[in-house]
Structure 1
Amino acid sequence: MSDDNARHAAKMAKVKAARDRMMQDRQGEKGLIIVHTGKGKGKSSAGFGMILRCIAHDMPCAVVQFIKGAWDTGERRLLTTHFGGLCQFHAMGEGFTWDTQDRQRDIAAARAGWDKAKTLIRDPAIRMVLLDEINIALRYDYLDVAEVVAFLRDEKPPMTHVVLTGRNAKPELIEIADLVTEMEALKHPFRDGIKAQAGVEF
């Protein structure tokens, strides 16, 4: 074995020993509150990736979309066509706020989405609920963040995962979350005149 390989092997042995010690103290499981936020792309995509993992493990799951509504998205088409037995899909939004231009209608749609979300989260048979773009509804105060936080804290079953996506996550939500990821935008094709494209954005 060369000196470089020997040094690398010794270093990796130390890393493995440290990792093994760390893992000994991390044997617990719980239902997580997960937030994907930030100005970069990938928030909903990460949430749907988790939904597909649940499906692969035969874990019942559900999606409530708060904004996209009637959009014919790839994720909606895939989940409803092929995995409807394991994943409920509820598109409750009416489109982006700048499209509807009707605050009361947006509030009503957000309330309906939240009511559906609470029913799904309360069901102990459902292991993960994705609340796609709920942070947008919270940002515009279509929903009361204190109500959402109190429900997740006090009523979510212990082993149910809830994923909340959308930019500008409220500090109160971040505070109670177990896992928070902020997507950072470094480059975006929209700035170069490229529109949203099937398979990438929807």
Structure 2
Amino acid sequence: MDIETPPLDHKRLEQPAERRGLVLVHTGDGKGKSTAAFGLALRAHGRGKPVLIYQFMKVPSARFGEHRIFEQLGVPIVGLGDGFSWKSKDLEHSAQLARDGWARAEATIRAGEHFLVVLDEIMYPLRYGWVPLDAVLQCLRERPAHVHVVLTGRGAPAELVELADTVTEMTLVKHHYKAGVPAQRGIED
């Protein structure tokens, strides 16, 4: 590792006069997309801002670690799906759940009652064609000016990347699965 000299001066960018809601995309093959979105949800909730989290692949009855803590904190987290496609017994049913889930999420975004809306793992239903990309892009363009939206999942479409204000791509460098270590509660859930 090379040792660096700490910077002594920092040029501040001129800030716009008015703040506005942002579209943030967390994508890529690395771990941490949902975790980063949940961190933003905690940060907003900690400031007293209304937050709503939709999980497109989790079942409504899911009780993962994030569900338990958000419930304790009073942050709504809603499962909209029936699990990942490779676990689905009926893909048409999964697709319908995604469409119904998008209708709920779109209504929430357009209503403007939440400071932050998280659309966790929405990239799967977008990539599978279960949720129309054009409808999502239109909703994001037309959302109330103060509403922030975070969208997570691998393979974000180029059109969504173009529209977003901030895009972070999590890059897989090394993963414990490849060493034969299975998923662990409290880390992957």
- Once residues 45 and 33 of structure 1 are traced to their aligned partners in structure 2, the CA distance between those partners, rounded to angstroms, is 17
- Once residues 50 and 27 of structure 1 are traced to their aligned partners in structure 2, the CA distance between those partners, rounded to angstroms, is 23
1:116 correspondence with 2:104: yes
Partner in structure 2 of residue 72 of structure 1: 63
1:128 correspondence with 2:110: no
Q: For 1:61, which of 27, 32, 51 is the aligned residue? A: 51
Aligned ranges for residues 7-156 of structure 1 at < 5 Å? 12=8, 15-16=9-10, 18-19=11-12, 22=13, 24-69=14-59, 70-80=61-71, 82-84=72-74, 87-154=75-142, 156=143
Q: For 1:199, which of 169, 186, 189 is the aligned residue? A: 186
Q: Compute the displacement of 1:129 (Å).
A: 0.3
Q: Compute the displacement of 1:90 (Å).
A: 1.1
Q: What amino acid sits opposite 2:38 in the alignment? A: F
Query: Whose Rg is larger?
Result: 1
Taking only the aligned residue pairs, the percentage that are identical comes to 40
Q: Compute the displacement of 1:102 (Å).
A: 2.2
Select the structure that is richer in helix.
1
Secondary structure of 1:53's counterpart equals helix
Q: What amino acid sits opposite 1:90 in the alignment? A: V
Q: What amino acid sits opposite 1:72 in the alignment? A: R
- Count of residue pairs brought into register by the alignment: 184
Q: Is the 8 A contact 2:110 2:139 kept in 1?
A: no
Q: What amino acid sits opposite 2:105 in the alignment? A: A
Q: What amino acid sits opposite 1:149 in the alignment? A: L
- Once residues 178 and 80 of structure 2 are traced to their aligned partners in structure 1, the CA distance between those partners, rounded to angstroms, is 29
List gaps (5 residues or longer) in structure 1: 1-7
Range moving further from structure 2, 27-36 or 43-52: 27-36
Range moving further from structure 2, 68-77 or 55-64: 68-77
Q: TM-score under structure 1 normalisation?
A: 0.86
Partner in structure 2 of residue 189 of structure 1: 176
Partner in structure 2 of residue 162 of structure 1: 149
Secondary structure of 1:90's counterpart equals strand
